[in-house]
A and B are shown apart, each in its own frame.
Chain A
Amino acid sequence: MTRSLWIWLGALPIFACASFAQNADQGKPAPGNPAGSPADTREAAPGVPALGQANVADRAFIRAAMLGGRAEVQFGKLAETKASSEAVKNFGRRMAHDHGAANDRLFSLAGRLTVALPPDQLGPEHKILWSRLDAEDGAKFDKDYIDAQIGDHQKTAQLFEYEIGSGQDAQLKAFASDQLPVIFEHLRMARVLSDALAIQMMAAASPLQK
């Protein structure tokens, strides 16, 4: 069973992500709660914030999504070169690709807003993780990378939901809505991989295998 799982994972379409991004709001997000709009927000029409008018949630989102997205690409590339299993390599390649494309879109959206972008480096928690993964290899690396990916994608999903509910800039909210199904698909893949890796490690450690 484990073997067939690996074959199936290896066969996952790598760049198919965009096809299942479904935003039923079709690029026009639902109006937000005006209580979350700063008093000096410029409006395109009464009750409609002008594009590029960021509120506090938009700013928090851009910073966190950009830091997280860049980390995804860097860790994805690390896994692509360093992972011992093909499935984890493929997963890392897909993360680097998907998050790279999302980062480009976010970067151009953020450029319209008067917000300071975060420094182009890993955040403190990801620096610690990088040091740890850099020192590991083999199955241990694969498992720790994938488990960190589960936590990161859980956090990212909540962050994107936060922007959908609390953000103000329509294009930024549409971006979050478009990306959220992809993030959940990544999370699902990482959970399946983690379970499979755990079984594989247990089997390798079992006396029956030796």
Chain B
Amino acid sequence: MRSCSPTLSPLLGALLCAVGASAAPLPPDASYRPLPAAPFDQVKADDEAQKTEVMQRQRNLLEERFDLSDQPIPNILMSGGRKSVQGGVRVKLPTGISWDSLANMSADEIRERGVLPKGFMPLPHVKQATGGQVFPDEEIDEIARQEQRNLRRFDVDFDLPDRFTPEFPAPIFLTTHPELGDVSRGQLVTIKNYYELFVGILTPVQLEGMRLLLTPFPQEEFNQTEDRKSADQSLGVTCLDCHANFHTNGAFHQTPDVRPQAARFRLDTVSLRGLFNQQIHGSKRSLRSVEDFTQFEQRTAYFNGDQVSAQRKGVNLPNRFDQVPMMAQMQNIIDFPPAPKLDPTGHLNPAKATPEELAGEQVFMGKGRCSSCHIPETAFMDNNMHDLQLERFYKVGQTQNGLVMLPDGPIKTLTLRGIKDSPPYLHDGRLLTLADTVEYFNLVLGLKLSQPEKDNLVSYLLTL
């Protein structure tokens, strides 16, 4: 308000006041990460004291939303042959509502009566106010064993049961060597073993790209400053700590693209399989190349889109003209897992598919409208972002475990190739099984599928 000083001419003063008035006086830490207000030992003690309640709240939320029991689909395994795929609809319905009765209600009625299944709503981070990267125990334990590097947080643990995460470690398929099949040899690829595993298979450029993707760099929760959530001064995290074996281990984070903190939705790590066909990257940012994505993840996955915080904690800016292209070239040779029932155009081979799977493909291409975005010929994506407008079905602004429920807006179409390997589903992992995603899209697209159509659709999705 100094600009309104009486020494200025009245006209100029009025102009400056009017200009100043247009700036929203929200506090700076609504956008920027604040410095800690207490010393590290005190924050750590408080975080540890809160942890039991934090984990119990999230567990209560998950149990309120989902049936978390063990119901593997018979005779179906993920592509590495090491983990079963969970089946059945796990999202719980409100009392007195069936899936059919829900599908026959208008969006307005569902919203006004408050009967949208809570499992369809955005899934909060395990500790929304703090957020940040959270790794599953399998990843934490294996990195500790191989690298003696600590990925464990003292404030939170991973929240979803293991049965709803991808198999670990995931198999790796290379576009440059389809004849070899899975080249991971059942190991988690790390800075300690990548060279022996891949020399003679990869080019020097690809090997250097992989080395960079496996090298830890400081990150918002794993760094050397007092603003961290690892007990020790951390060496940082690597790209493949989340994108384990170039797939995903289910590690989650929050979107770097939204503020303030309570509005930042959860992000489930996306698989890097098939990146060579993907033209846009990031759920929200629509970055136009793998190179852009690789470069900017140092600003976003690592530092929440806050370059100020990154500068203090030790930002790594890979060289755009040399290092980034090598990292990108390595990522661009990661193939989808084999889908033996699909022909070269992405359609089922009738000689190999079951009647249920073929019927499911008909739903996918027709009544289910799945193929209008997940186009078989282009690796089951359309390189577009779409807004499913779930907010038609609930009242926005409710708070659930610290996350404010807001419209998701347009989100990138994700590929469905190898989809049985990538639970949980949607960008935030809010859906645990493929049967859940069928019910979700049945509602948001108003499809009114019959139960046999839904079942066939799931059978079809398992072939992709």
Using a CB–CB cutoff of 8 Å, the interface residues on chain A facing chain B are 20, 22-25, 29-39, 41, 43, 45-48, 55-57, 60, 64, 124-125, 128-129, 155, 157-159, 161-162, 164-166, 177, 180-185
Q: How far is the CA of A25 from the CA of B403 in the complex (A)?
A: 10
Main secondary structure of the interface of A (DSSP, over half): helix
Q: List 30 A-B contacts (CB under 8 A).
A: A22-B398, A23-B399, A24-B118, A25-B402, A30-B128, A30-B129, A31-B54, A33-B129, A34-B46, A34-B47, A35-B227, A36-B129, A37-B37, A47-B49, A57-B27, A64-B25, A124-B1, A159-B26, A159-B30, A162-B30, A162-B260, A165-B128, A165-B129, A165-B262, A165-B402, A180-B397, A180-B399, A181-B398, A182-B397, A183-B397
**Least Cβ distance of A62 to chain B in Å?**
12
**Least Cβ distance of B461 to chain A in Å?**
31
- B49 engages A36 (CB within 8 Å): no
User: Which A residues are CB-close (under 8 A) to B129?
Assistant: 30-33, 36, 165-166
Task: Known contacts A33-B129, A35-B227, A64-B25; decide if A55 and B37 are in contact (CB<8 Å).
Answer: yes
Q: Is residue B185 within 8 Å, beta carbon to beta carbon, of the partner chain?
A: no
Q: How far is the CA of A175 from the CA of B29 in the complex (A)?
A: 20
**Least Cβ distance of B299 to chain A in Å?**
21
Q: Is residue B180 within 8 Å, beta carbon to beta carbon, of the partner chain?
A: no
Among listed B16-24, B332-340, B419-427, B446-454, interface-contacting one: B16-24
Q: Is residue B253 within 8 Å, beta carbon to beta carbon, of the partner chain?
A: no
User: Which B residues are CB-close (under 8 A) to A34?
Assistant: 38, 42-43, 46-47, 50
User: Which B residues are CB-close (under 8 A) to A177?
Assistant: 398-399, 404
**Least Cβ distance of B139 to chain A in Å?**
23
Q: How far is the CA of A46 from the CA of B50 in the complex (A)?
A: 8
With beta carbons under 8 angstroms apart, the residue of A22, A31, A124, A180 that contacts B114 is A22
- A158 engages B397 (CB within 8 Å): no
- A39 engages B26 (CB within 8 Å): no
**Least Cβ distance of A98 to chain B in Å?**
14
Q: How far is the CA of A20 from the CA of B400 in the complex (A)?
A: 15
**Least Cβ distance of B444 to chain A in Å?**
20
User: Which A residues are CB-close (under 8 A) to B260?
Assistant: 158, 161-162, 165-166
Task: Known contacts A34-B43, A180-B404; decide if A166 and B38 are in contact (CB<8 Å).
Answer: no
- B400 engages A25 (CB within 8 Å): yes
Q: How far is the CA of A67 from the CA of B45 in the complex (A)?
A: 36
- A157 engages B29 (CB within 8 Å): no
Q: How far is the CA of A43 from the CA of B50 in the complex (A)?
A: 12
* In the complex, chain B residues 28-85 whose Cβ is within 8 Å of any chain A Cβ: 29-30, 34, 36-39, 42-43, 45-50, 53-54, 57
Task: Known contacts A35-B43, A38-B37; decide if A164 and B399 are in contact (CB<8 Å).
Answer: yes
Q: Which 4 A-B pairs have the closest CB atoms?
A: A47-B49, A30-B402, A165-B262, A165-B261
**Least Cβ distance of B216 to chain A in Å?**
22
With beta carbons under 8 angstroms apart, the residue of B24, B30, B39, B57 that contacts A30 is B57
- B26 engages A57 (CB within 8 Å): no
User: Which A residues are CB-close (under 8 A) to B49?
Assistant: 45-48
A-B contact count (CB 8 A): 157
User: Which A residues are CB-close (under 8 A) to B399?
Assistant: 23-25, 29, 164, 177, 180
A152: nearest chain-B partner, CB-CB: B24
With beta carbons under 8 angstroms apart, the residue of B1, B39, B57, B114 that contacts A39 is B39
A56: nearest chain-B partner, CB-CB: B37
- A128 engages B17 (CB within 8 Å): yes
Q: How far is the CA of A148 from the CA of B17 in the complex (A)?
A: 16
**Least Cβ distance of A40 to chain B in Å?**
9
With beta carbons under 8 angstroms apart, the residue of B37, B45, B118, B262 that contacts A36 is B37
User: Which A residues are CB-close (under 8 A) to B45?
Assistant: 46-47
Task: Known contacts A125-B21, A162-B262; decide if A31 and B1 are in contact (CB<8 Å).
Answer: no
Task: Known contacts A31-B127, A33-B129, A165-B129; decide if A39 and B42 are in contact (CB<8 Å).
Answer: yes
Q: Is residue B365 within 8 Å, beta carbon to beta carbon, of the partner chain?
A: no
Q: How far is the CA of A45 from the CA of B49 in the complex (A)?
A: 9
User: Which A residues are CB-close (under 8 A) to B42?
Assistant: 34, 39
- B404 engages A164 (CB within 8 Å): yes
Most A CB contacts (10 A, CB to CB) among B27, B53, B395 go to: B27
- B27 engages A33 (CB within 8 Å): no
Q: How far is the CA of A57 from the CA of B4 in the complex (A)?
A: 27
- A30 engages B401 (CB within 8 Å): yes
Q: How far is the CA of A23 from the CA of B400 in the complex (A)?
A: 7
Q: Is residue B396 within 8 Å, beta carbon to beta carbon, of the partner chain?
A: yes
Q: Is residue B263 within 8 Å, beta carbon to beta carbon, of the partner chain?
A: yes
- B262 engages A161 (CB within 8 Å): yes
User: Which B residues are CB-close (under 8 A) to A60?
Assistant: 27
Q: How far is the CA of A39 from the CA of B399 in the complex (A)?
A: 28
**Least Cβ distance of A81 to chain B in Å?**
24
- A24 engages B398 (CB within 8 Å): yes
User: Which B residues are CB-close (under 8 A) to A29?
Assistant: 399, 402
- B50 engages A124 (CB within 8 Å): no
User: Which A residues are CB-close (under 8 A) to B34?
Assistant: 35-36, 56, 166
A182: nearest chain-B partner, CB-CB: B397
User: Which A residues are CB-close (under 8 A) to B20?
Assistant: 124-125
Q: How far is the CA of A46 from the CA of B52 in the complex (A)?
A: 12
User: Which B residues are CB-close (under 8 A) to A55?
Assistant: 37
- B262 engages A164 (CB within 8 Å): yes
Q: Is residue B184 within 8 Å, beta carbon to beta carbon, of the partner chain?
A: no
Q: Is residue B371 within 8 Å, beta carbon to beta carbon, of the partner chain?
A: no
Q: Is residue B354 within 8 Å, beta carbon to beta carbon, of the partner chain?
A: no
Question: Knowing that A56-B37, A125-B20, A161-B261 are A-B contacts, what are 11 other residue pairs whose CB atoms are under 8 Å apart, sorted by A's residue number?
Answer: A32-B129, A34-B38, A35-B130, A36-B34, A41-B38, A45-B49, A47-B46, A47-B49, A158-B26, A166-B262, A181-B395
- A35 engages B36 (CB within 8 Å): yes
Q: How far is the CA of A31 from the CA of B20 in the complex (A)?
A: 36
Q: How far is the CA of A177 from the CA of B401 in the complex (A)?
A: 11
**Least Cβ distance of A155 to chain B in Å?**
5
- B396 engages A184 (CB within 8 Å): yes
With beta carbons under 8 angstroms apart, the residue of B29, B30, B127, B401 that contacts A25 is B401
B131: nearest chain-A partner, CB-CB: A33
Q: How far is the CA of A159 from the CA of B128 in the complex (A)?
A: 17
